[in-house]
Structure 1
Amino acid sequence: MMKADGSGERINLTNSGFSDDQPKWAFGGKALLWATDRDGKKPLAVQGASEVDIYAMFFDQEAYDKFKLTKDEFALAKEREDKEKEEAKKDTTNKIAPPKKGWEPTLEGLDNRKLRLTINSGNISDYLMSNDGEKLFFIARMEKGYDLWSTNPRTKETKLVAKLDGGPGGLDISKDGKSLFVVSDGKIVKVDAESGRVSPVTVNGEMVLRADKEREYIFDHAFRQVAKKFYDPKIHGVNWTKYHEDYARFLPHINNNYDFQELLSEFLGELNASHTGGRFNPAAAGGPQTGDNTSSLGMLFDEMWDGAGLKVMEVLEGGPIVNAKTKIKKGVVIEKIDGETIGADTDWARFLNRKTGKNVLLSLYDPETKTSWDEVTKPISQGEEQSLLYKRWVNNNRKRVEELSGGKVGYVHVQGMNDGSYRTTYEDALGKAVGKEAIIVDTRFNGGGWLHDDLVTFLSGKKYLQMAPQGERLQSSEPFNKWTGPSTVLMSESNYSDAFIFPYAYKSLGIGKTIGMPVPGTGTAVWWETQIDPTIVFGIPMVGTIGKEGRPTENLQL
Structure 2
Amino acid sequence: MRIDVEGFAARVQPLKAPAGGYGRLTANGEGVFYVAGGGRNGAPSLQFLATEGDTPAKVADGVGSYALSADGSKLLLRQSSTFAIVDAKPDAKVDDGKLDLDAWEIRIEPRREWRQQFVDGWRILRDWFYDPGMHGQDWDAIRARYERLLPYVNTRADLDYLFSEIAGEANAGHVYVESGDQPVVQRRAGGLLGAEIQAHDSGYFRIARIFPEDAADIAARSPLSAPGVDVANGDFILAVDGVDARSVRNFYQLLENKADRVVTLRVNDRASAQGAREVRVTTIASEHNLRYTDWVQQRRAMVDSLSGGRIGYIHVPNTAVEGSREMFKGLVAYGDREALIIDDRYNGGGFIPDRMVELLTREPLNYWKRRGLQPTATPVLHHRGPKAMLINGQSSSGGDALPYYFRKFGLGTIIGTRTWGGLIGISGNPRLADNGAILAATFSFMDTDGNWAVENEGVAPDIEVIDRPELVAAGRDPSIEKAVEVLLRELEDSPVRPVVAPPAPTEFPPAAR
TM-score, normalisation: structure 1: 0.69
**Pairing 1:339-378 to 2, within 5 Å after superposition:** 339-343=242-246, 346-367=249-270, 371-378=275-282
1:118–1:529 CA distance, 2 compared to 1 (3 A)? same
1:474–1:328 CA distance, 2 compared to 1 (3 A)? closer
**C-alpha displacement at 1:269, in angstroms?**
1.6
**Match in the other structure for 2:167:** 268
**Match in the other structure for 1:211:** 110
Distance, in Å, in 2 between the alignment partners of 1:180 and 1:267 is: 39
1:223–1:159 CA distance, 2 compared to 1 (3 A)? closer
**C-alpha displacement at 1:212, in angstroms?**
2.0
Kept in 2, the 8 Å contact 1:127–1:171? The answer is: no
1:537–1:322 CA distance, 2 compared to 1 (3 A)? same
Kept in 2, the 8 Å contact 1:459–1:484? The answer is: no
CA RMSD of aligned residues (A): 3.6
Kept in 1, the 8 Å contact 2:304–2:311? The answer is: yes
**Match in the other structure for 1:551:** 451
Distance, in Å, in 2 between the alignment partners of 1:142 and 1:502 is: 41
Q: Of residues 374, 377, 381 in structure 2, which corresponds to 1:477? A: 377
**C-alpha displacement at 1:256, in angstroms?**
1.8
**Match in the other structure for 2:314:** 412
Q: Quick check: which one's strand share is greater?
A: 1
Distance, in Å, in 1 between the alignment partners of 2:156 and 2:308 is: 54
**Pairing 1:265-304 to 2, within 5 Å after superposition:** 265-280=164-179, 290-302=186-198
Q: Which letter maps to 1:367? A: R
1:163–1:378 CA distance, 2 compared to 1 (3 A)? farther
**Match in the other structure for 2:349:** 448
**C-alpha displacement at 1:238, in angstroms?**
3.3
Q: Which letter maps to 2:327? A: T
**C-alpha displacement at 1:342, in angstroms?**
3.6
**C-alpha displacement at 1:494, in angstroms?**
0.3
**1:321 pairs with 2:224:** yes
Kept in 2, the 8 Å contact 1:139–1:148? The answer is: yes
Distance, in Å, in 2 between the alignment partners of 1:495 and 1:173 is: 47
Distance, in Å, in 1 between the alignment partners of 2:270 and 2:298 is: 29
**1:194 pairs with 2:98:** no
Q: Which letter maps to 2:237? A: I
Q: Secondary structure at the match of 2:267?
A: strand
Distance, in Å, in 2 between the alignment partners of 1:280 and 1:152 is: 40
**C-alpha displacement at 1:236, in angstroms?**
2.4
**Match in the other structure for 2:405:** 505
Question: Which string of whole-angstrom CA distances, capped at 9 and with x for unpartnered residues, describes residues 292-347 of structure 1?
Answer: 32232222212x64653432112224122223332222222323333334447545
**1:393 pairs with 2:292:** no
**Match in the other structure for 1:494:** 394
**Match in the other structure for 1:234:** 133
Distance, in Å, in 2 between the alignment partners of 1:125 and 1:517 is: 44
Distance, in Å, in 1 between the alignment partners of 2:434 and 2:138 is: 28
Q: Which letter maps to 1:314? A: R
**1:139 pairs with 2:30:** no
**Match in the other structure for 2:65:** 169
**1:254 pairs with 2:150:** no
Kept in 2, the 8 Å contact 1:125–1:169? The answer is: no
**Match in the other structure for 2:495:** none
Kept in 2, the 8 Å contact 1:276–1:538? The answer is: yes
**Match in the other structure for 2:491:** none
**C-alpha displacement at 1:436, in angstroms?**
0.9
Kept in 2, the 8 Å contact 1:309–1:344? The answer is: no
Q: Which letter maps to 1:145? A: G
Q: Of residues 214, 237, 241 in structure 2, which corresponds to 1:334? A: 237
TM-score, normalisation: structure 2: 0.74
**C-alpha displacement at 1:145, in angstroms?**
3.5
Q: Secondary structure at the match of 1:458?
A: helix
Q: Which letter maps to 2:77? A: V
1:454–1:142 CA distance, 2 compared to 1 (3 A)? farther
Distance, in Å, in 2 between the alignment partners of 1:305 and 1:270 is: 52
Percent sequence identity over aligned pairs: 21
1:494–1:184 CA distance, 2 compared to 1 (3 A)? farther
Distance, in Å, in 1 between the alignment partners of 2:201 and 2:112 is: 53
Q: Which letter maps to 2:392? A: S
1:280–1:308 CA distance, 2 compared to 1 (3 A)? farther
Q: Secondary structure at the match of 1:449?
A: coil
**C-alpha displacement at 1:543, in angstroms?**
0.6
**Match in the other structure for 1:183:** 78
Q: Of residues 388, 395, 419 in structure 2, which corresponds to 1:519? A: 419
Report which stretch shifted further, 234-243 or 459-468.
234-243
Unpaired segments of 5 or more residues in structure 2?
Answer: 213-220, 460-513
Kept in 1, the 8 Å contact 2:313–2:341? The answer is: yes
**1:380 pairs with 2:275:** no
Kept in 1, the 8 Å contact 2:28–2:72? The answer is: no
**C-alpha displacement at 1:180, in angstroms?**
6.0
More contact order relative to length (CA 8 Å, sep ≥ 6): 2
Q: Which letter maps to 2:282? A: K
Q: Secondary structure at the match of 1:530?
A: coil
**Pairing 1:523-538 to 2, within 5 Å after superposition:** 523-526=423-426, 527=428, 529-534=430-435, 536-538=436-438
Q: Which letter maps to 2:78? A: V
Q: Of residues 445, 458, 463 in structure 1, which corresponds to 2:359? A: 458
1:245–1:523 CA distance, 2 compared to 1 (3 A)? same
Kept in 2, the 8 Å contact 1:466–1:473? The answer is: no
1:245–1:345 CA distance, 2 compared to 1 (3 A)? farther
Kept in 1, the 8 Å contact 2:259–2:285? The answer is: yes
**C-alpha displacement at 1:547, in angstroms?**
0.9
**C-alpha displacement at 1:532, in angstroms?**
0.9
**C-alpha displacement at 1:265, in angstroms?**
1.5
**C-alpha displacement at 1:264, in angstroms?**
1.9
**C-alpha displacement at 1:151, in angstroms?**
7.9
1:543–1:481 CA distance, 2 compared to 1 (3 A)? same
**C-alpha displacement at 1:486, in angstroms?**
3.3
Kept in 2, the 8 Å contact 1:417–1:450? The answer is: yes
Kept in 2, the 8 Å contact 1:306–1:344? The answer is: no
Q: Which letter maps to 2:134? A: I
**C-alpha displacement at 1:522, in angstroms?**
0.7
Distance, in Å, in 1 between the alignment partners of 2:334 and 2:128 is: 44
**Match in the other structure for 2:468:** none
Question: Which string of whole-angstrom CA distances, capped at 9 and with x for unpartnered residues, describes residues 411-469 of structure 1?
Answer: 11222222343123212212x11311222121221221114211121111122211134
Unpaired segments of 5 or more residues in structure 1?
Answer: 14-106
Kept in 2, the 8 Å contact 1:441–1:488? The answer is: yes
